[in-house]
Amino acid sequence: MSAATLGTAWALDWIARATKVVSENRIELIELDRAIGDGDHGENMDRGFTAVAAKLAGAEPASPGEVLKTVATTLMSTVGGAAGPLYGTAFLRAAKGADGDLDAAGVATMLEAALEGIRARGKADTGEKTMVDAWTPAAVAAREAAEAGAGAVQAIRAAADAAVEGSEATIPMIATKGRASYLGERSAGHRDPGAQSSALLLVAAAEAAEAAGAGA
């Protein structure tokens, strides 16, 4: 199982699970954004992934990269707000290196590329209470797992767990980027909605990998 790679079926399952989990957490993400932002993050993500699901419904992608590229362009053209371009760029960069099945190193490279995309567009660093605080530990964890000889499933699971922790860690932070930064110190004590949606997406990726691994 640790040798299994993640292919197109996994990517499709990931996005199907992501669509579901985003829809299930629409209200929670709205509530998180209501506290320190403008209350639309859940609505934005749900609108985007609903469109993604519709787009992928008829498609027959040949690689994980093709799946992720469709996700990227669809999010970019339907989400809007800050999350639209950021996730759009993340998935676009992630897609680039994913033209074949992914081993653990491939997973790490994909996540690093996504993170770099987010950082390039958003100009945020860790500790600024944004989705960067979920993607950074995720990418680091995946790379460490790969270097420690883990398989792709374990790498993506490590990334997901790290993202969940990263999302949690945004709670005490004072935002300096994104809409929450307008609140200054009042932003502390609330979880960043983008970090949380990032964690949800990466957990969906890990679960899809595990489901495939289990079935393999």
Partner 1 sequence: MKKLINDPQRVVPESLRGFGLAHPEHVVVHEDPLFVSRAGGAVKGKVGLVSGGGSGHEPLHAGYVGAGMLDAAVPGAMFTSPTPEPILEATKAADGGAGVLHIVKNYTGDVLNFETAAELAEAEDITVKAVVVNDDVAVEDSLYTAGRRGVAGTVLVEKIAGAAAERGDDLDAVVAVAEKVIKNVRSMGVALTACTVPHAGKPSFDLADDEIEIGIGIHGEPGRHKIAMAGADEITERLLEPVLEDLKIGSGEKVLLFVNGMGGTPLSELYLVYNHAHDVLAGKGLEVTRSLVGNYITSLEMQGASITVLRLDEELTQLWDAPVNTPALRRGV
Ligand X SMILES: Nc1ncnc2c1ncn2[C@@H]1O[C@H](COP(=O)(O)OP(=O)(O)O)[C@@H](O)[C@H]1O
Binding site for ligand X (CB under 6 A): 33, 37-38, 40-41, 44, 81-83, 86, 118, 122-124, 130-132, 177-179, 192-195
106 touches, from ligand X, Mg ion, partner 1, none (C-beta below 5 to 8 Å by class): none
From 205, 135, 209, 119, select the one nearest 167 (Cα to Cα): 135
Residue (24 or 38) nearer to Mg ion, CB: 38
Residue (124 or 159) nearer to partner 1, CB: 124
- As given in the structure block, the two tokens for residue 98 are 């994913």
* Interface with Mg ion, residue 41, by CB under 5 A: yes
Question: Distance between CA 40 and CA 93 in Å, rounded?
Answer: 25
From 150, 119, 149, 140, select the one nearest 202 (Cα to Cα): 140
Q: How far is the CB of 152 from ligand X (least distance, A)?
A: 26
Residue (203 or 209) nearer to ligand X, CB: 203
From 213, 205, 173, 211, select the one nearest 192 (Cα to Cα): 173
Question: Distance between CA 211 and CA 205 in Å, rounded?
Answer: 10
* Interface with partner 1, residue 181, by CB under 8 A: yes
- Kindly write out the interface string for residues 73-102 of this chain, putting x where it contacts partner 1 by CB under 8 A and - elsewhere: ---xxxxxxxxxxx----------------
